[in-house]
Amino acid sequence: MRIKAFITHKDQERFTDCQDRFSVNKDTKSIALADGMSQSIFQKIWAQLLVDKYTTIEQWEPTIESVRELSPKWQDQVMAIIPSLTPAAQRRSRNSLAMGMSAGSTFVGIRFNENKWEGWVLGDSCLIIVDQNNEIVKIETSQEGHFDSHPDYFDSNPNKEGKGLPKTISGELHKGEKLFLVSDPFSDILYNIQGSDSQKELICKLLAIENHEAFEALVANWRAQGMHNDDSTLVVVEYDESDDFHVVHEDSIDAFIEMEKQQENPLEPVSASKDDNLEKESTSLSQVVLDEKIEECKTLKDYLSVVADRFIDSLPKELKKRKENLKKRFKDQLFKALDCYYKIEGK
C-alpha cells in the first residue's frame, strides 16, 4: 500500500486550532481519522484518543459502548490541561464542564489484512472507494443523503449517547484502486461530484498531491471555488501490489503546532516529541539557509549579521512590518558592541 496523509486548518486559523486528527500505523496496518466537533469542548483531545486507540490496539472496535472506556482518559487529559490555561479560559472550561459539555468527534478507520480491509465509520468523516478509472465507486458513511452541520459523532461523556450508530465497512483493494479517508470538506465535495463529468479530473488532482505545499495549494484553490472552509484532512491509500504500508508522505500536526509555537516564541526551546517527523520539520528550510550563509561568512560582522537576520525573521508575524527597522537597529547595536570589543582588546 502506498500511503500519503495530509492535514490543514481553516483559512485564517492555525494548526493549534485544527480539530482534525489522523493516525497511520505501519505495524498494525491501520489508518484512522477523526474530526472533533466545533461546538464541543476539548474535541482535539477526544479526536486524538480515538485515532490513537484504533490504530494502536488491533482488536479494538469503536462502538458506542467501547468508546466509553476512553472517557476517563479524556477527563484526565482535560483536567491536566486546565491549570495551564488563562484564568478566563479556566473559568470558561470549568463552567462548560459543570454545564455537562463534552467533546464530540466523527470517525473513520480501516485496518488491512493483506489486501482486505475492514473498518468503522461514524458521521461525515468518510471512506471514499475509487476504481482503476478514477471514478468514485462508493462513499462509506454512517449517514444517509446530503451531509449537514449535525453529523453523527462519538461523545466523550459516558452518560451521553452521541449521535448515530457506527457502521462497519469492509472490502478489498486491487491494483489501480484507491481509498481516501477524508474529513467533511472533502466528503462534501466528493459526494457532490460522484458520477459527474468532473469527478475523474478532481480525483486525479487529489492523487497528484505529493507534499504538504501541494495539498495546501489544492485546498486553497478548492476553497476559492466553494469548498467549505473547515479543517481538512486527506489520507490516500493506493494499492502498489505490496501488502506492506509504504508511507510516502505523512503530515505531522504536532510538528506544525510546534513550529507555530517557535514562530511565536523564538527563544523557547523546541519541546521533546516522540514524533520522528518533528525532527525533520525542525530542520527547516530557514535553518539550512542559515547554515549555508554562515559558511559563507568571512568576518565576525558577517556572521553577526546573518544571526541577526535569522533572529528577527523568527519573530511573530505581527512584527512583520517592523522587521527591516528592527534588523537595522539590532545590527547597529551588535556592531557597536563588536567595535567596543575590538577597541578594548586592541584589535
Q: End-to-end CA distance of the chain: give it in Å, rounded.
A: 64
CB-nearer residue toward other proteins: 55 or 93: 93
By CB under 8 A, residue 78 contacts other proteins: yes
Considering only residues 265 to 324 of the shown chain, the ones binding other proteins according to CB under 8 A are none
Q: Least distance from C-beta 161 to other proteins, angstroms?
A: 11
By CB under 8 A, residue 91 contacts other proteins: yes
CB-nearer residue toward other proteins: 78 or 121: 78
C-alpha cell at 255: 510538528
CB-nearer residue toward other proteins: 90 or 263: 90
CB-nearer residue toward other proteins: 65 or 345: 65
Give every CB contact of residue 2 below 8 A, 6+ residues apart in sequence: 237, 238, 239, 240, 246, 248
Stretch of 97-105, 169-177, 266-274, 320-328 contacting other proteins, by CB under 8 A:
97-105
Residue for grid cell 454545564: 99
Q: Least distance from C-beta 100 to other proteins, angstroms?
A: 6
Q: Least distance from C-beta 50 to other proteins, angstroms?
A: 16
DSSP annotation of 41: S
Q: Which of 92, 116, 205, 320 binds other proteins (CB under 8 A)?
A: 92
Residue for grid cell 449517514: 143
Q: Least distance from C-beta 91 to other proteins, angstroms?
A: 5
Whether 134 and 238 have beta carbons less than 8 Å apart is answered as: no
By CB under 8 A, residue 99 contacts other proteins: yes
Give every CB contact of residue 299 below 8 A, 6+ residues apart in sequence: none
Q: Least distance from C-beta 261 to other proteins, angstroms?
A: 13
Residue 88, H or E segment: helix 87-98
CB-nearer residue toward other proteins: 67 or 312: 67
Considering only residues 16 to 45 of the shown chain, the ones binding other proteins according to CB under 8 A are 17, 19, 38-39, 41-45
Adjacent-strand bridge partners of 332: none
**Half-sphere exposure (CA, 13 Å, Cβ side) for 177?**
15
CB-nearer residue toward other proteins: 194 or 263: 263
CB-nearer residue toward other proteins: 94 or 336: 94
Q: Least distance from C-beta 274 to other proteins, angstroms?
A: 21
Considering only residues 100 to 119 of the shown chain, the ones binding other proteins according to CB under 8 A are 100, 103
Distances (CA, A) of 213 to 207, 217, 220, 221, 234: 14, 6, 11, 12, 14
Distance CA 37, CA 34 (A): 9
Q: Least distance from C-beta 48 to other proteins, angstroms?
A: 13
For residue 307, the SS3 value is helix
DSSP annotation of 147: -
Number of residues that bind other proteins (CB under 8 A): 32
Which of 179, 44, 182, 70 has its CA nearest to residue 123? 182
CB-nearer residue toward other proteins: 95 or 113: 95
Q: Which of 59, 83, 98, 344 binds other proteins (CB under 8 A)?
A: 98
CB-nearer residue toward other proteins: 93 or 183: 93
Distances (CA, A) of 246 to 72, 235, 240, 242, 336: 34, 13, 9, 9, 55
By CB under 8 A, residue 159 contacts other proteins: yes
H helices present in 57-125, as ranges: 71-81, 87-98
Distance CA 183, CA 43 (A): 15
Stretch of 92-100, 106-114, 248-256, 319-327 contacting other proteins, by CB under 8 A:
92-100
Distance CA 80, CA 74 (A): 10
Where do contacts with other proteins occur on this chain (CB under 8 A)? 11-13, 17, 19, 38-39, 41-45, 78, 81, 85-89, 91-96, 98-100, 103, 159-160, 229
